[in-house]
Structure 1
Amino acid sequence: MSILLPLYIYPYAGAWDPLYAAAQAHWNVDFTVILNPCSGPCMGSLPDQVYLNEIPKLRAYPNIRSLGYVATHYTDKPIETVLAEIDIYSRWPKLTNNTKMRVDGIFLDETPSTYSADKFGYLERASQAVRNGASFKDRFVAHNPGMIPASILNSPSVYRESYLNLTDLTVVFEETFDKWLDKDTLDPLQAHTIRRSKLAVILHSVPNLSRQVLDFVVEQVEETADWLFLTDIKETDEYYHSFTEMFTDVVASVDGSSRKRRS
């Protein structure tokens, strides 16, 4: 399993240290972090100097991949704006004269969950911009629709009824822990036949769990997806703006699950 981390945390001194410590302590765990300095790449300027100092440090860890955040507003944002934001991320190394100031791909947030040909064309153009971006090391494309309806997720023709063939990773569920536990939610999410390596689950508002229960939750998520993020933060719009003590335990549980699977 791997960690998908929305790193929407301002990198003041020491703020990203929990990530660095986890990446160093758990070399078997891959981290894909989403950078979001200005609700996007900071159009018309570079991120401030604090970001410029911190982002290159991610390159010291071979198990950390970084993605630039771009919202599509469910394809209501003009595609030219989306392409311009992708282009800015691709030009960070040149603009800063620093090859370490780069991202490995793009995380497209607020993508549609139901299919239409027009929306497919829109997202295809965005994906092609990432695939053609020479400075994107992995040319990695992620989508976050928040949730894919069970009727699509479990359809025999899911790849024709969704945008999964445009992505390396899709968040199929981003919601509260309580909603994850709902039978009508959990059963369809665990019944699909899509490759789990293409899917992620993000859960917030997680209650205080013992390590044993947390291990079980991670194993349950693994029935749906190979990527996850869990946080106990419950405040709307604050879910991804700080590390909690839970982060260390989640990484340890993911590492343990990965070791079990390999043994």
Structure 2
Amino acid sequence: MSILLPLYIYPNAGAWDPLYAAAKAHRNVDFTVIINPCSGPCLDSLPDQVYLDEIPKLRAYPNIRALGYVATHYTEKDIESVLAEIDIYAKWPKVTNNTKMRVDGIFLDETPSTYSAEEYSYLKRAGQAVKNGTSFKDRFVAHNPGLISSRILNSKAIYQESYLNLTDITVVFEETFDKWLDKDTFDPLHSHKMPRSKLAIILHSLPHLSRQVLDFVIEQVEETADWIFLTDVKGDDKYYHSFSSIFADMVKTVDGKRRRRKQ
């Protein structure tokens, strides 16, 4: 398993230290973090100096990959605006004269979940801007529709009925812990035949769990996806703006699973 971390935390002094500490202590764990300075890359300027000082520090950790955040508004945003935002991230190293400002790919948020040829073409253009560019180290593309229906996930024609062949990973479920537990969600997510390596699950608003129960939750998520993020933070627009009390234990459990796989 790997960690997909929406790092929407303003990088005041020490604010990202839990990530650095986890990456240093758990070198077997891969972290893909999403940086989002201005609900995107900051259109009319570079990010402020606090971000310019902090983003290069991510490069000190070989197990941290950084993605730039771009919202598509379910393809309602003009594609040229999306391409322009991708290009801004691509130019960060040159504009700042700092190669450590380089990001490794793009996280496309608010992508559609139901298929249409027009939306496929839109998302393909966005993905090609990442895949064909030389500025993105890994040329990594992630989509977040927030939910992909069980009908699509379990379809024999899934690659013809979705956008999964355009991505390195897709967030197939981003919701509250309670909704994930619902039988109509839980059972279909565990029955799909997709490669787990291409799928991510993000759960927020977790209750106060014991370490044993948290480990069990992570085991159940692993039945669906190889990418995970869990937080017990509650409240709209606050889930990803602080490190939760379970962050360190989540990383420890993921590390333990990776170590057991290698044995």
Q: Are the equivalent residues in 2 in contact too, given 1:218–1:257 (CA < 8 A)?
A: no
Shift of 1:260: 2.4
Residue aligned with 1:206, SS? coil
Paired residues, number? 263
1:198 corresponding residue in structure 2: 198
1:123 corresponding residue in structure 2: 123
Paired letter, 1:133:
G
Shift of 1:175: 0.3
RMSD of Structure 2 on Structure 1 (CA): 0.6
1:208 corresponding residue in structure 2: 208
1:77-124: CA deviations, max 9, x gaps? Answer: 000000000000000000000000010000000000000000000000
1:172 corresponding residue in structure 2: 172
Paired letter, 2:117:
A
Q: Among the aligned pairs, what percent are the same residue?
A: 78
- The whole-number CA distance in structure 2 between the counterparts of 1:140 and 1:128 is 10
2:135 corresponding residue in structure 1: 135
Q: Are the equivalent residues in 1 in contact too, given 2:73–2:111 (CA < 8 A)?
A: yes
- The whole-number CA distance in structure 2 between the counterparts of 1:35 and 1:103 is 9
Q: Are the equivalent residues in 1 in contact too, given 2:197–2:226 (CA < 8 A)?
A: yes
1:127-185: CA deviations, max 9, x gaps? Answer: 00001221100000000000001000100000100000000000000000011111110
1:45 corresponding residue in structure 2: 45
- The whole-number CA distance in structure 1 between the counterparts of 2:219 and 2:74 is 31
Q: Which residues of structure 2 form unaligned runs of 5+? A: none
- The whole-number CA distance in structure 2 between the counterparts of 1:93 and 1:188 is 43
Residue aligned with 1:66, SS? strand
Paired letter, 1:165:
N
Shift of 1:125: 0.3
- The whole-number CA distance in structure 2 between the counterparts of 1:243 and 1:234 is 12
1:259 corresponding residue in structure 2: 259
2:161 corresponding residue in structure 1: 161
2:238 corresponding residue in structure 1: 238
List structure 1 runs of 4+ shifted beyond 3 angstroms.
Answer: none
Q: Are the equivalent residues in 1 in contact too, given 2:107–2:142 (CA < 8 A)?
A: yes
* Comparing 117-126 and 243-252, the one that deviates more: 243-252
Shift of 1:262: 2.7
Paired letter, 2:6:
P
1:196-220: CA deviations, max 9, x gaps? Answer: 1100000000011111111111110
Q: Are the equivalent residues in 1 in contact too, given 2:30–2:63 (CA < 8 A)?
A: yes
1:217 corresponding residue in structure 2: 217
- The whole-number CA distance in structure 1 between the counterparts of 2:244 and 2:223 is 25
Residue aligned with 1:34, SS? strand
Residue aligned with 1:108, SS? strand
Paired letter, 1:229:
F
- The whole-number CA distance in structure 2 between the counterparts of 1:186 and 1:233 is 21
1:105 corresponding residue in structure 2: 105
Shift of 1:224: 0.3
- The whole-number CA distance in structure 2 between the counterparts of 1:160 and 1:18 is 40
TM-score, normalisation: structure 1 = 0.99
Q: Are the equivalent residues in 1 in contact too, given 2:69–2:107 (CA < 8 A)?
A: yes
- The whole-number CA distance in structure 2 between the counterparts of 1:29 and 1:215 is 16
Residue aligned with 2:13, SS? coil
1:67 corresponding residue in structure 2: 67
Paired letter, 1:141:
V
Residue aligned with 1:138, SS? coil
